[in-house]
A and B are shown apart, each in its own frame.
Chain A
Amino acid sequence: MVTFWTLAPIMVLAALGVVLARKAVHSALLLAVVMISLAITYASQGAPFLFAVQIIVYTGAIMMLFLFVLMLVGVDASDSLVETIKGQRMMALVVGLTFGVLVVLVVGQGVVGVSVGLGEANANGNVYGLAALMFTKYVLAIEFTAALLITAAVGAMVLAHRERLVPRRSQREESARRLQEYAETGRHPGPLPTPGVYARHNAVDTPALLPDGSPSELSVSRVLRARGSVREGFEGDVGQTLRQLDPDDPTSTIGGSTPRRGGSGRTEES
């Protein structure tokens, strides 16, 4: 009784959170909360084996897989990945209401007369009882789950494994190729400039500034640029600093005698 009234509100709130959370990671973590709470309810309902399996399989394997894929896809992937069928909000409302009615009808009537309890079934231990069913009555169903697991493994390999079709280039070949490219196109053979050189920040999304003050395109990953998450607004920084260093400029903060003005630049922060 105590278990139920402690866990039920947590589970319902966490489940609502799964649906309402804006970020996918939050949904995943809240789902893990639901799953662990469920594991505890299993333990309190005479299912110690399922308690362990729930923790190991659901929170241990399935949720980890979810989190792993979220990392792969990008943690902030709260945008839509796919356009599903239209008019679903209405459907959702209908389904929600239907189930509301279902709850009233089914539970209002009283589900099962008397709860028998698992005392007898678990007499030789829960695991023994499960094994006795698993290896006799449901042996075929359990065996056919093998087909599922193999399908899953083969499917994951097919969809995610890239076979290497061209041999890997050795270090020597690679350097020869780069110098060749330098000779032909003038592309610098060395590593690309790191982000943040001569810049205000050294974060990966901040382009390095070239001596003339323009941001270096090469210093930021193409992926970040394509996503549009490159930090902008540094183009004027060098000019501004030069102005500040110029003793003739009346607005200069270093050479001039005028006190600093509030709007004179962001140099104050550094």
Chain B
Amino acid sequence: MIHPLLVSASAPPPIDSPTIQYGDLSPLLVVAAVALLGVMVEAFAPRALRFTIQTALAIGGIVVALAATVWVGLGLDRASGDVLARGRVVAEGAVAVDGPSVFMWGLVLLFALVSMLLFAERRLEGGLSAFTGQAAAPPGSAMEREAVEHRIEHTEVFPLAMFALVGMMLFPAANDLLTMFVALEVLSLPLYLLCGLARRRRLLSQESAMKYFLLGAFSSAFFAYGIALVYGFAGGFGLGDIDQAVSNRIDGQNLLLAGIALMAVGVMFKVGAVPFHAWTPDVYQGAPTAVTAFMAAGTKVAAFGAMLRLFFVAFGGASWDWRPMFWVVAILTMVVGAVAAVTQSDVKRMLAYSSIAHAGFILVGVTGAFVGTRDASVTSVSSVLFYLTVYGFSTIGAFAIVTIVRDASGETTQLSRWAGLGRESPLVAGAFALFMLAFAGIPLTSGFIGKWAVFSAAWSGGAWPLVVVAVLASVVAASFYVRVIVTMFFTEPTGEGPSVAVPSMATTAVIVVAVVVTVLLGVVPGPVLDLAQSAGAFVR
């Protein structure tokens, strides 16, 4: 019994329980449940079985989540309004389940599916995964050798990747700033950890984890302060509330502008836009290649999704204020990415700078901010969605190839050592060349259609000078990709030349899927482009 004095005179009214649309959120919930189950498996399953169970659980869970995503996507209703939009806001306004959200969920899940196959690759390291056996053992120590002898593996990487995946799904779908902030952290923390778990070159890997963590925490502090300032301006966190405040009010403009700028720093860090790109090459190089592939594809989708939603929905009314900033950042990103890629001698660093350049191209599409009322033309949102699809598959494919070009000390990432790869293994070199051509945006590859889509959206949005710069930057970048192809096919190998390890079915499947998607989207882009187009606009 509670003492009568402790009960206030008038008991406060009961709090109504929230209504959560579990069906609409099912893809998210499935992935979260799989992550939790994975942690349980770590605790209870015998060590010998863990790797198999974790792989099966992760892949099975992703497949179920994909099915749930398709089911949610088919059930989306057309929202009222003059632009095409489907879906609704669920979970007390926390999550917007609309066309772009569902498209991005599907995309991130597909990327995660192929990345998990890379995670599960065990043939390349003699029956062990590409992750360190005992992260707590210092590199080169007796304990590390013991761990290899006993063949122990860190199977926690699977639940960690699943947690990152939940974050990647929640980040672009979040409809209020607090959910967005939490999602940003849910997506980041596991990735910081995964970066530091490479089996080979562990010092580099740990250092990359440290850099990524410190700079990531720094940028998320900016993001949080941006949220605080925007809250100070609008008095609420819902993107719809902020939109109303932005459209209606005139006073406190500086507060809003400062908030927009700081939040932009946060998301631009995640996409790796210049001048917030400093972490990208180091982290891409140091992290285990499977993680790099997952991160490069998945984080880009999540961060661009959140950026689009934030700037189109919440700050749409202030687009004249933020577009100049995006112009500058887009131009800087394309130029720095393209020019710096030319000077790289390491394949992973080269791919990192190329990812920076691609972030620039996508930013061109974002900057166009073309909403488009006629269904015929490509909108900014759908062009960015399409580009992310194209870029993600090519990137994962390229990194998958990086994992199989090896020598005695692990992956050979020195570009000079790739000379003569075309003679060693024409198939692998051919696939890599295809990805390079897609990155360069050569016709009949998916990259061409992607570039065409974002540029045309930007052009329709009136950002034609930006498109001109972008085309010039693509030419510079293309020269470099061509150089890589020349190195592989027409240069005499130095010393023994590169060797291509025979991977298991998993990595082979990843490369084949990436090649097929890259070619298919280049030849018949119609269906996916239509799908991106029919995803429509964001709901509010």
- Residues of A with Cβ closer than 8 Å to B? 82, 84-85, 102, 105-106, 109, 111-113, 124-125, 128, 131-132, 135-141, 144-145, 147-148, 150-152, 154-155, 157-163, 165-166
Bound-state Cα–Cα, A209 to B408, Å: 49
Size band of the interface chain B makes with A = 35 or more
Residue of B whose beta carbon sits closest to that of A150: B39
> Which parts of B95-139 form the interface with A (CB within 8 Å)?
95, 134-137
Q: How far is the CA of A105 from the CA of B258 in the complex (A)?
A: 9
Contact status of A141 and B163, CB under 8 A, knowing A111-B255, A165-B152: no
Q: Which residues of A contact B152 (CB under 8 A)?
A: 163, 165
CB atoms of A165 and B182 under 8 A apart: no
Determine whether the beta carbon of A158 is less than 8 Å from that of B163: no
**A141, B94: Cβ atoms closer than 8 Å:** yes
Q: Which of A152, A154, A161 contacts B136 (CB 8 A)?
A: A161
Q: How far is the CA of A151 from the CA of B160 in the complex (A)?
A: 7
Binary A-proximity of B399-433 (CB < 8 A = 1, otherwise 0):
00000000000000000000000000000000000
Contacts of B159 in A (CB 8 A): 154
Residues of B within 8 A of A112 (CB): 232, 252
With a CB–CB cut-off of 8 A, which chain B residues contact A132?
15
B17 contacts partner chain A, Cβ-Cβ < 8 Å: yes
- Of the candidates A105, A106, A162, the one having the most CB atoms from chain B within 10 angstroms of its own CB is A106
B258 pairs with A102, CB closer than 8 A: yes
- From 274 to 323 in chain B, residues with beta carbon under 8 angstroms from any chain A beta carbon are 278
Please give, as numbers and ranges, the residues of chain B lying within 8 Å of A84 by CB-CB distance: 211, 214
Tell me how far the C-beta of A185 lies from the nearest C-beta in chain B, rounded to whole angstroms.
19
- A sample of 25 inter-chain contacts (CB < 8 A) reads A102-B258, A105-B258, A106-B229, A106-B254, A106-B255, A106-B258, A125-B8, A135-B15, A136-B17, A138-B176, A139-B20, A141-B182, A144-B186, A148-B182, A148-B189, A154-B39, A154-B156, A154-B159, A155-B190, A158-B136, A158-B154, A158-B156, A158-B160, A165-B147, A166-B146
CB of A82 within 8 A of CB of B167, answer no
Q: Does B77 contact A (CB under 8 A)?
A: no
Q: Sort A-B residue pairs by CB-CB distance and give the 10 closest, nearest first.
A: A124-B12, A140-B94, A162-B136, A155-B193, A141-B179, A136-B18, A105-B254, A140-B91, A141-B182, A165-B146
Chain B residues with Cβ below 8 Å from A106 are 229, 254-255, 258
Q: How far is the CB of A125 from chain B (nearest CB, A)?
A: 7
Question: Contact: A137 with B15, CB < 8 Å?
Answer: no
Of the candidates B94, B185, B193, the one whose C-beta lies within 8 Å of that of A137 is B94
Known: A155-B193, A162-B143. A128 touches B12 (CB 8 A): yes
Interchain CA distance A109-B252 in the complex, whole Å: 7
CA distance A178 to B84 in the complex (A): 80
Q: B16 on the interface (CB 8 Å rule)?
A: yes
The CA of A161 and the CA of B154, in the complex, are separated in Å by: 12
Kindly name the residue among A85, A125, A137, A158 whose own CB sees the greatest number of chain B CB atoms within 10 A: A158
Q: Closest residue to B251 on the A side, CB-wise?
A: A113
Check A158–B135 contact: CB distance below 8 A: yes
Contact A138 B190 (CB under 8 A): no
Query: With A and B bound together, what is the CA distance between A139 and B15 in angstroms?
Result: 13
Chain B 171-192 residues near chain A, CB threshold 8 A = 176, 178-179, 181-183, 185-186, 189-190, 192
Residue ID in chain B nearest A131 by CB atoms: B15
The reply to whether the CB of B32 lies closer than 8 angstroms to some CB of chain A is: yes
Q: What's the Cα separation between A82 and B189 when bound, in Å? A: 20
Q: A137-B93, A147-B186 are in contact. Are A109 and B254 (CB under 8 A)?
A: yes
Are A144 and B207 CB-contacts (below 8 A) given A151-B160, A155-B190? no
Residues of chain A contacted by B91 (CB below 8 angstroms): 139-140
Query: Taking the nearest CB of chain B, how far is it from the CB of A137, in angstroms?
Result: 5
CA distance A82 to B146 in the complex (A): 28
Using an 8 Å CB-CB cutoff, how does the interface string of B525-536 with A read, 1 for contact, 0 for none?
000000000000
B202-215 Cβ-contact flags toward A at 8 Å (1 or 0): 00000100110010
User: Shortest distance in angstroms between B285's beta carbon and chain A's nearest beta carbon?
Assistant: 14
Given contact pairs A82-B210, A151-B189, A144 touches B179 in the complex (Cβ within 8 A)? yes
Nearest B residue to A108 via CB reads B254
Known: A144-B166, A151-B190. A159 touches B252 (CB 8 A): no
Given A111-B232, A166-B146, is A144 in contact with B15 using a C-beta cutoff of 8 Å? no
Verify if B375 is at the interface (C-beta below 8 Å from A): no
Quick one: which of A85, A102, A140, A158 contacts B179, CB cutoff 8 A?
A140
Nearest residue, chain B, Cβ from A142: B182
Minimum CB distance partner of A157 in chain B: B156
Q: Which of A109, A135, A139, A141 has the largest number of chain B CB atoms within 10 A?
A: A141
Q: How far is the CA of A178 from the CA of B76 in the complex (A)?
A: 74
Assess the B189–A155 pair: CB atoms within 8 A.
Answer: yes
Contact A138-B178, Cβ < 8 Å, known A82-B210, A84-B211, A147-B166 = yes
Does A147 lie within 8 Å of B210, measured CB to CB? no
| Given contact pairs A160-B136, A162-B136, a sample of 16 additional A-B residue pairs in the complex whose CB atoms are under 8 Å apart | A109-B255, A112-B232, A125-B12, A128-B12, A135-B17, A135-B18, A136-B17, A139-B94, A140-B94, A140-B95, A145-B182, A150-B163, A151-B190, A155-B160, A162-B137, A163-B152
Residues of B contacting A165 in the complex (Cβ-Cβ under 8 angstroms): 134, 143, 146-147, 150, 152
Is the CB–CB distance between B16 and A159 below 8 Å?
no
CB of B20 within 8 A of CB of A82, answer no
Q: B384 on the interface (CB 8 Å rule)?
A: no
* Measured CA separation A203–B22 after assembly (Å): 65
Within the complex, what minimum Cβ distance (angstroms) separates A139 from chain B?
A: 5
Could you tell me the distance between the alpha carbons of A158 and B157 in the complex, rounded to whole angstroms? 9
Chain A's closest residue to B279 (CB) is: A85
A163→B154 CA distance, assembly (Å): 11
- Contact A147 B147, CB 8 Å, known A112-B252, A140-B92, A141-B94: no
- Inter-chain contact B135/A159, CB cutoff 8 Å: yes
B240 nearest CB across to chain A (Å): 13
In the complex, A131 Cα to B178 Cα: how many Å? 16
Instruction: For B42, list chain A residues within 8 Å (CB).
Output: 154
B37-92, CB < 8 A from A: 39, 42, 91-92
How far in angstroms is the closest Cβ of chain A from B319? Answer: 21
Q: What CA separation (Å) do A147 and B33 show in the bound complex?
A: 10
Rounded to whole Å, the gap between the CB of B483 and the closest CB of chain A is 27
Instruction: Give min CB distance, A106 to chain B, whole Å.
Output: 5
- Within 8 Å CB of A102, what residues of B? 258
Picked from B136, B179, B211, the residue with its CB within 8 Å of the CB of A159 is B136
A159 near B186: Cβ-Cβ < 8 Å: no
Asked if B340 CB lies within 8 Å of chain A CBs, one says no
Q: How far is the CB of A196 from chain B (nearest CB, A)?
A: 30
| B170 lies within 8 A of chain A by Cβ | yes
**A139 & B254 in contact (Cβ 8 Å cutoff):** no
- Bound Cα distance from A139 to B134, whole angstroms: 37
Q: Which residues of B contact A144 (CB under 8 A)?
A: 32, 166, 170, 179, 182-183, 186
CB of B332 within 8 A of chain A? no
